[in-house]
Structure 1
């Protein structure tokens, strides 16, 4: 047996709204003099049924002509005559309903129909226009709000799709850049040190497995990123030997934290290319990831001097900046500075929430 479909918000509001109004009119009748329970019940049922019918017919008409898509000014131009038309319909139905119910169920009621209309039409019409105006405002304000919410949701969905497309494009751009640099390192070792070159190929295989085969995954854990960096540094150490020293410090509670894939590796690659490679004696690359109250800091320090190429950012650094902007919506920052003579510090700050 199929379960009955739940009432929509529209029908709930219709039933509750007109029921409350009819109960109020019933209460007025009950406190205003002799009260006939049967007549009161019939008045309640017919009030709810007739006024829901009138407003529902209007709703269908408005939807058919797509009034819910109109701007405020054009909608108001239609709502004013609509309130009058609905007020007229309310007046006609109310007069006929009240008169004939009284005629059939109140034996003492002998008033001619023309006299009843003349005495009651004005205040019934005014009440009808007022009620229908309230209903129209409530209905169209709801429709307008729902349309704005849908537009906002659609814009947000499009923004997310655009952001993901941009991130995918940047990731696709970065992977070959990383691969070519690693291959160049191995190429430099082939003639000078074949054993190291073979080890470099093994390391590159691990790097490919953990990095390039991640597809369009934008984020990775600190643990996986650090493992990638260690493989990369070992590969570079085969080329630089004792000229390259490195130290990695990571707060234990941050190991499972998600960060941009290849973010630390990009900073390390930059430190070696613009730092270690340009220093006759090489030096120490220090990598530190630590958490502060509002941000997590990723810091990579290397010997060297800040030059225009490094401060301006090559492919890797520009790519990293764009990915940080897209992923964290402007809440993450990247800076690279000459901390002191002979020392360069690159820092990424990621919001904790």
Structure 2
């Protein structure tokens, strides 16, 4: 039964009960020799009844007109109107019942009116403050939900762009093998199917384990090794403690693909790709070094793959993550991703 009572009625019952108890305690503290008589209790209960009745009636009235949508200035005027209207209803109802129906003694008129206005002022002040806090909290929740939805849509958009981008590059690699070595081309198609199968399984995830991401990278590099043969040398240095850490899906593969496309493929003699993953304090650091150089006017890396990496790191981790690509020395390019552990 109690679960069916909403917050408003709980506040009404508790508030007026507290008012009743405070008045009884006050009466006992003033007149310590004699306890309040039955008329005092009756007067107090009648006052509380009309207080509850008047505030509830005016609340029902303003809710019909959706007062929460009013401007701030209109709500200020409404507050004073409600304070005055409910205060008058409280006192008139109380006065009529006590004087004309029960013919009991009553406090002086001015004191009664001031008491009525004071009580209704406090009631409506608490009521408006409550709704202000509720609206503010609801607005914050809506904002968080909107930001989460926008982030999810942006991540899905980036991933939707990444897959066709990768497939296009992979098909170009296979096309180069079709006439030169059909058997190797068939092997390359098998490797590509493995990569696509893996990417489809993780497409809905915001993050995947580094181990899963490495499996895709190894399939991709096996595909590229068919094309480059001895011109491509791959080395790994992976801390086992980082294998279960979460990373954005296809991020590592995108950076390795960038290293092959813009680094190894432009060097006649080929080169090396060196992939590392380690822990530094409370950060997960992934580094991809490759043979090659970034031209001076493109040192910050504005290609699609690099932009998508920055965007996804920002969406997932905010300012706690970073991405940098630079010329490490005269022969090597280094891309470094730093992500928080928590």
**TM-score of the superposition, structure 2-length normalised?**
0.91
1:158 alignment partner, one of 137, 146, 156: 146
- Classify 1:6/1:252 alpha carbon distance in 2 versus 1 (closer, same or farther; 3 Å): farther
1:318 alignment partner, one of 291, 295, 307: 307
Q: Which range moves more in the overlay, 217-226 or 290-299?
A: 290-299
Alpha-carbon contact 2:299-2:326 (below 8 Å) kept: no
* Partner Cα distance (1:233, 1:333) in 2: 25
- Classify 1:100/1:23 alpha carbon distance in 2 versus 1 (closer, same or farther; 3 Å): farther
* Partner Cα distance (1:261, 1:272) in 2: 19
Alignment of 1:69-108 (within 5 A): 69-99=69-99, 103=103
* Partner Cα distance (2:291, 2:220) in 1: 18
Alignment of 1:49-68 (within 5 A): 49-68=49-68
* Partner Cα distance (1:62, 1:248) in 2: 70
Deviations 1:137-192 (A, max 9, x none): 11011111211222222222222222222221111111011011111111112222
How many Å apart are 1:31 and its aligned residue? 4.2
Instruction: Please tell me whether residue 26 in structure 1 is matched to residue 3 in structure 2.
Output: no
SS at match of 1:246: strand
Q: Which range moves more in the overlay, 193-202 or 171-180?
A: 193-202
Alpha-carbon contact 1:279-1:304 (below 8 Å) kept: yes
Alpha-carbon contact 1:222-1:256 (below 8 Å) kept: yes
Q: CA RMSD in A?
A: 2.3
Match of 2:316 in 1: 327
Alpha-carbon contact 1:222-1:257 (below 8 Å) kept: yes
* Partner Cα distance (1:300, 1:259) in 2: 15
Work out the number of aligned pairs and report it: 339
Deviations 1:180-218 (A, max 9, x none): 111111111222222322221111110010014533333
Alignment of 1:204-215 (within 5 A): 204-215=192-203
In the alignment, structure 2 segments of 5+ residues that lack a partner are none
